[in-house]
Structure 1
Amino acid sequence: MNNSPLHCTPASSDNPGDSPHPIDRFFWREQWRQLKLAHCAVPNYGNSRQFWGNKKKVHTVYTKGNTNHDEITRTRLDSMSIPDGSRVLDIGAGPGTYAIPLAARGCKVTVVEPSPVMRELLEARIQEEKIENLVVIPKRWEDVRVGELGEPFDAVIASYSLTMMDIGEALEKMNACCRGTVHLFWFLLPPAWVQVNRDLWPFLHGGIFPGEPTADWLWQVLYEMEIYANLQVDTRFPPSRYANVDEAVEEFLQRLNCTTPAQEETVRNYFQTMLRQDGDALVLGDGTLGAHLWWSTV
């Protein structure tokens, strides 16, 4: 496989006026960047570093629910087929969802995790499960140099951690430090919280929430790089479940950076309308699909 940048020329035409514009081999990479730049213009939105550095927000959002989390983790690990004893890089590893079970199987795992909250959770699991063959790099992937990672990895994982503005640069670095397979997990369809943000942000803060790029964009970026990734539909995310309206309001007051009684009333009115009864719980949306993209670097 040739992983050098794709070079394209416009199709020929007898009439110069009919010639199409030259194909932009960085089109999807720039689309991704522009959408991430649009987040910077959203009033009071903040950034991913601020979010993942806030212990209350992380515990409210990330650690909520996940009753079938272990089953999903096993399914994804099976889909990656990483042999025991492999040298593995896990980018944005969170609390060690994959890093801990891989290390327990004898893999030599390097974790890149910028969030101090997540590193605290990861360290607790390392101590609890007496994991020794795991190294943590407390940086963003954007700030890591390939040279500091040592020998190439047999597998590189980035699972729902693709918040980088320059996604092309991030992917090039993953490819450069891998001698086996790269595995990416990302949203195939927008998650429910994206729709909530789109609905409420203009009323709460002004401005329009631009949404998030999805896995089809990611595949297009890779295609422009002449990396022809496999794509498989990932485990469906179940809809968020809440015991009552108050629980949903509490979560999204954090997500939406609400600080005033008027904002809380807006959020409460929204969820009183949008949540639906399902057995003994209230649910938001219908769940969503993720995608597993992977390719070999050799």
Structure 2
Amino acid sequence: MAYSEIDWNTVWKEQYDENIHCRGCGGCASIWESREKARGFLNQSRENPDRIRHVIEGLPIGPESRVLDIGAGPGTLAVPLAGVAAHVTAVEPAAGMTEVMGEYAAEEGVSNLSIVRKRWEEIDPSADLEGPYDIVVASYSLGMPDIRAAIEAMCEASSRWVYLFWFAGTTNWEQGMVDLWSHLHGREYRRGPKADVLFNVLYSIGICPNVETTRMEHVRRFPNLEAAVAEFKEQYAVSTPEQEMVLRNYLAGALSQNGGDLLLSGMATRVKLWWEVNGCE
């Protein structure tokens, strides 16, 4: 099949659906309904500050900027951005995430942050948003089956810039699933779509993005092996004692001692794609 005949949005959706079906979950937002998990995610992000700094320092933010943060999670970007911008609107569907984001904003004394508890696909711009926005950003939050429609809506919400952050290749946390899935579930793990497909979706709709690739270390810290097993049981869909033993043995070999803690670390390739909404068509 010739390149021009490939429907890259369909490629994205097929890979997205295969990943969701393989994992047996209801989508990216479904695992973050718990406030406890959301708080843990925020704490983990604070232990990996390079990712947050990399995103914020690469945005053209000023004191008069209006920013739309899509898939804002517990506010890891939205709250710091509100500290330097005029206004930030954070779109986040998960109840646990929005609750923790509100707490985080209060802790930091942020009052120029609006939180919209919806999926991006469900947004009514006239009712839910306070645009237009100088910058629209989706940072590692592209769990959207119809990525083309999502991107087109981002362009409509922006008066100038759109910034997307995603992954290239297999991330270090995915590698564990690749290694274990057949032993746990008797089938191959299906990875979700990556930055190569995303770039082609953009190109197919007339967007020629700037691209920057960065290798970053990703570290998870645990007080002991039991805590690590408890953390990953849901992610690996572990439900039987036999499956738990497989996971335990894998983590015992993968974790490294660091003082009184155990670390699970590895490198991930992160990709930034950005463009001016009227500058690349």
Global fold match (TM > 0.5): yes
* Alpha-carbon distance between aligned partners in 2 of 1:291 and 1:80, rounded to the nearest angstrom: 14
* Alpha-carbon distance between aligned partners in 2 of 1:48 and 1:292, rounded to the nearest angstrom: 20
Alignment match, 2:60: 81
**Aligned residue type for 2:213:** V
- 2:229 counterpart (249, 259, 273): 249
**Aligned residue type for 1:30:** T
- 1:99 counterpart (78, 87, 97): 78
The answer on whether the counterparts of 1:189 and 1:290 sit within 8 Å (CA) in structure 2 is no
Alignment match, 1:23: 4
Query: RMSD over aligned Cα, in angstroms?
Result: 2.5
The answer on whether the counterparts of 2:16 and 2:145 sit within 8 Å (CA) in structure 1 is yes
The answer on whether the counterparts of 1:194 and 1:212 sit within 8 Å (CA) in structure 2 is no
In structure 2, the CA distance between the partners of 1:276 and 1:199, relative to structure 1 (3 Å rule), is same
Answer with 1 or 2: which has the greater Rg: 1
Alignment match, 1:109: 88
* Alpha-carbon distance between aligned partners in 1 of 2:45 and 2:64, rounded to the nearest angstrom: 32
Aligned length: 277
How big is each residue's C-alpha offset from its partner over 1:126-179, in whole Å with a ceiling of 9 and x where there is no partner? 222332222111100011123332432110010011000111111111011111
TM-score by length of 1: 0.83
* Alpha-carbon distance between aligned partners in 2 of 1:56 and 1:125, rounded to the nearest angstrom: 14
The answer on whether the counterparts of 1:249 and 1:268 sit within 8 Å (CA) in structure 2 is yes
Unpaired runs of 5+ in structure 2? Answer: none
In structure 2, the CA distance between the partners of 1:88 and 1:271, relative to structure 1 (3 Å rule), is same
Is 1:34 aligned with 2:48?
no
TM-score by length of 2: 0.87
**Aligned residue type for 2:195:** A
Alignment match, 1:271: 251
**Aligned residue type for 2:4:** I
Q: How does 1:3-82 map to 2 (within 5 A)?
A: 21=2, 23-24=4-5, 27-42=7-22, 44-60=24-40, 63-64=43-44, 66-69=46-49, 71-82=50-61
Q: How does 1:1-298 map to 2 (within 5 A)?
A: 21=2, 23-24=4-5, 27-42=7-22, 44-60=24-40, 63-64=43-44, 66-69=46-49, 71-148=50-127, 149-234=129-214, 236-276=216-256, 282-284=262-264, 286-298=266-278
The answer on whether the counterparts of 1:188 and 1:215 sit within 8 Å (CA) in structure 2 is yes
SS at match of 2:267: coil
The answer on whether the counterparts of 2:35 and 2:100 sit within 8 Å (CA) in structure 1 is no
* Alpha-carbon distance between aligned partners in 2 of 1:48 and 1:73, rounded to the nearest angstrom: 20
In structure 2, the CA distance between the partners of 1:86 and 1:205, relative to structure 1 (3 Å rule), is same
* Alpha-carbon distance between aligned partners in 1 of 2:173 and 2:117, rounded to the nearest angstrom: 28
The answer on whether the counterparts of 1:190 and 1:212 sit within 8 Å (CA) in structure 2 is no
Is the deviation greater in 193-202 or in 220-229? Answer: 193-202
The answer on whether the counterparts of 1:180 and 1:297 sit within 8 Å (CA) in structure 2 is yes
* Alpha-carbon distance between aligned partners in 2 of 1:240 and 1:141, rounded to the nearest angstrom: 29
**Greater percentage in strand:** 2
How big is each residue's C-alpha offset from its partner over 1:21-67, in whole Å with a ceiling of 9 and x where there is no partner? 5822x522111100111134326344323212134444555633742
* Alpha-carbon distance between aligned partners in 2 of 1:260 and 1:285, rounded to the nearest angstrom: 26
Q: Offset at 1:106?
A: 4.0
**Aligned residue type for 1:23:** S
* Alpha-carbon distance between aligned partners in 2 of 1:121 and 1:84, rounded to the nearest angstrom: 25
Is the deviation greater in 201-210 or in 250-259? Answer: 201-210
**Greater percentage in helix:** 2
Percent identity over the alignment? 35
Q: Offset at 1:239?
A: 4.1
* Alpha-carbon distance between aligned partners in 2 of 1:169 and 1:235, rounded to the nearest angstrom: 29
